[in-house]
Structure 1
Amino acid sequence: MKSTSVAAVVAAAALSLSACAAGEAAPAADETASAAAAGQFPVTIEHAFGETTIDRAPERVATWGWGSTEAAISVGVFPVAVAEQVWTVGEDNLLPWVEQAYEEAGEELPVVLDDASGGEEVPYEQFAEAAPDLILAPYSGVTQEQYDLLSEIAPVVAYTGDPWTTEWDETIEITSEALGLADQGDQVLADVDEYLAGIKAEHPEFEGKTVAAIVDAPSEGLVYVYNSSDARAGFLEKLGFTTAPAVDELDPTQGKDFFYTLSYEELDKLESDVVVAYTYTEEEAEKLPDSKQLRALPAVKAGMVAQVVGQVPVSSVSPPTALSYDWPEGVPALAEELGKILG
């Protein structure tokens, strides 16, 4: 998740243990310790900066980036410190599905780590004060320098590929494995897969349709496009869609980043059956379908655009996490909207 500029918002807009999900109960407080104690250690996780070995069940976990907080909670481990999500819920606030999970489990709310720059700067002193014995950052943008400094505080688990490109399901896999709870993580993933498979079965019209996921930035005269390496694309493919070939063909980064930009003059090249647009206010959403500039997109011109509207709903699908995959205003609402335009 990046922060307050449109580019930063793009990063943001860059699961029965999954009963922690919206409307369901998280593991009880006394189950948290027993879940961790049941794990198998030592565990060694390979990642972009080498490998990290966790010798024993961690008692104080901190998370950084996106999705690992929810992944930890979904297997019964409640972090003591989590990254701030300023663009979504403001300073010092927790994402609603995260706060709900803590409250339902009777757990003390975590320290919210300052992250006004969307991961570009790391609050080392706050990490040190939280005294974690494990830092989870599998879906983040930590640099080698940041990793090295954080490792002086506690063992750090980073991403396996490039920054901000970890698939949403891999975030759950890495997190649960690092906590010695891989079997529980597998169950969470099975539950999420079952849920998404249910949506896919309800909407056979999604199968094989090509999709492009975008964020419009009219003040900059361009559109942000998520490429196929981004977790949002992977999620849409779980519903039956295929990332439009043009998405990657037009990518000047050649997959080295998880998104790129197109000027309005180039939008006619981005061909797809449907466009998923992430918009942050109702006003923006109302204007988008009739935007002269965006109607250069073939799918928008044909009326084949589905929107996720509002910072929290966008956050719930950007990409989905172990706790937000069934958030009513997120995936279910998007699937309904896509069903209307493709049905």
Structure 2
Amino acid sequence: MPDTRPLVRLAALGAALAVTAALLTGCGGAATASAENATYSTEPSDTFPVTVAHQFGETTIAAEPQRVVVVGLTEQDILLELGTPPVATTEWYGEQPFAVWPWATDLLNGAEPTVLQATDGFEFEKIASLKPDLIVGTNANITSDDYTKLSAIAPTVTSVTGADRYFSAWQDQTRQIAKAMGRTAEGEKLITGVEDSYAEAAAAHPEFAGRSASFSQGGPYEGNIYVYPDGLNTDFLTDLGFIMTPNLEKYAAQPGQQALISGENMSLIDADVIVFATENAESLPDLLSFGTTSSLKAVTEGRAVYTDGELAGAIYFLTPLSQKYVLEQLVPRLEKAVAGQSPQSVDG
């Protein structure tokens, strides 16, 4: 995985590209699709126009969007599960075809989204050339200036007020996108389905309840390992009954960011279970040789989980769709870890 993997959530993706006023004015602010999107497999259940409140105010969408551009990192999953494939996605990491991971590819329904890049800011000119009638950025570091430029191209929906950048709650994101697409009931069904599945898995595994857990990226980066404090992308463990290792937020550079743990401080993350988001077998030596990692009790006693690349990606995405994959793939590994039988292998 490239250096811009989940660490991209630690800071803004970069300064916005310069866009001329003429370009934005020429877009008229609300491009209209000339024909229905043939890749859609569902119909809206709400009546348009709809209005979506977000961190920059409100956006009114006059008719069912047909050309949706995703400028955030993970929103394509939600659109795909709603049966409304986007015309463009944004590459985050993994370089998957169309920036769509394997757990979601079956839902493309023939769509071949254009893939945008965001390492140097939003590609405003390219976005405008796609003639979107909706821009979705609920999991993006959109500034007020970015929003002004994007909303001049097409109606733009961002995250809710108060959301942490790149860590907006998946429930909020699902509701934002479902409402914009005129499918609020369908969005609620996605949320309920995931929450019910977690509740069922927790009930089936009472041995998880009250156990301490840590969630870490899979290897050191620039002298630290990045660990997720409680509440920051950790629902996939707490919803199963685990209790996250406390006080790690003290080691974050800023609120709402991962904790930076140095090699000599790895004991801070020792727990009943540690989930390392490793991505391939080759990453294990670097992880285990980092500081005191190899001597952690969770590591020596077979209570550490090492994920493969696809499972790591699904955990990072934290969408309704990816979480189904997480439950299917991670729960059996957690069973082994709690029992002290987890292999030191990404194959689980």
SS in 2 for 1:261: strand
Deviations 1:283-320 (A, max 9, x none): 2236645755313655335442112122x321112133
Indicate conservation of the 8 Å contact 2:71/2:140, yes or no.
yes
| Cα distance in structure 2, aligned partners of 1:248 and 1:284 | 25
Give 1:199 deviation, angstroms. Answer: 2.2
Q: Which runs of 5+ in 2 are unaligned?
A: 12-36, 340-348
Deviations 1:135-166 (A, max 9, x none): 11111222222222111111111122121111
Deviations 1:34-85 (A, max 9, x none): 523x323333222222222223221211112233211122222221111124
1:204 aligned residue: 206
Indicate conservation of the 8 Å contact 2:213/2:244, yes or no.
yes
- 1:332 paired with 2:333, answer no
Alignment RMSD (CA, Å) = 2.8
2:105 aligned residue: 99
Give 1:133 deviation, angstroms. Answer: 0.8
Q: Which letter maps to 1:201?
A: A
2:82 aligned residue: 75
| Cα distance in structure 2, aligned partners of 1:147 and 1:303 | 48
How many equivalent residue pairs?
Answer: 312
- TM-score normalised by length of structure 1: 0.81
Q: Which letter maps to 1:77?
A: T
Q: For residues 238-317 of structure 1, what are the structure 2 equivalents within 5 Å?
A: 238-253=239-254, 256-285=255-284, 288-289=287-288, 293-295=292-294, 297-310=296-309, 312-317=310-315
Indicate conservation of the 8 Å contact 1:316/1:325, yes or no.
yes
Label 1:291 to 1:130 Cα distance change in 2 as closer, same or farther (>3 A): same
Indicate conservation of the 8 Å contact 1:274/1:304, yes or no.
yes
- 1:35 paired with 2:43, answer yes
| Cα distance in structure 1, aligned partners of 2:69 and 2:329 | 31
Runs of 4+ in 1 over 6 A off after TM superposition: none
Label 1:295 to 1:34 Cα distance change in 2 as closer, same or farther (>3 A): closer
Larger Rg: 2
Q: Which letter maps to 1:317?
A: I
Give 1:171 deviation, angstroms. Answer: 1.8
Indicate conservation of the 8 Å contact 2:76/2:100, yes or no.
no
Indicate conservation of the 8 Å contact 2:68/2:134, yes or no.
yes
Label 1:97 to 1:332 Cα distance change in 2 as closer, same or farther (>3 A): closer
Deviations 1:206-259 (A, max 9, x none): 1121221112444622110112342x2122212221222132344452xx2331
Label 1:91 to 1:34 Cα distance change in 2 as closer, same or farther (>3 A): closer
2:156 aligned residue: 156
Q: Which letter maps to 2:69?
A: A
Indicate conservation of the 8 Å contact 1:167/1:234, yes or no.
no
2:181 aligned residue: 179
Label 1:286 to 1:62 Cα distance change in 2 as closer, same or farther (>3 A): same
SS in 2 for 1:76: coil
Q: Which runs of 5+ in 1 are unaligned?
A: 15-28
SS in 2 for 1:131: coil
Q: For residues 5-154 of structure 1, what are the structure 2 equivalents within 5 Å?
A: 5=3, 8-11=5-8, 32=40, 35-36=43-44, 38-85=45-92, 87-89=93-95, 94-102=100-108, 105=109, 107-115=110-118, 117=119, 120-154=120-154
- 1:226 paired with 2:244, answer no
SS in 2 for 1:97: coil
| Cα distance in structure 2, aligned partners of 1:235 and 1:13 | 20
- TM-score normalised by length of structure 2: 0.79
1:342 aligned residue: 338
| Cα distance in structure 2, aligned partners of 1:229 and 1:84 | 25
Identity between Structure 1 and Structure 2 (%): 27
SS in 1 for 2:259: strand
SS in 1 for 2:196: helix
Label 1:332 to 1:97 Cα distance change in 2 as closer, same or farther (>3 A): closer
1:18 aligned residue: none
Q: Which letter maps to 1:79?
A: P
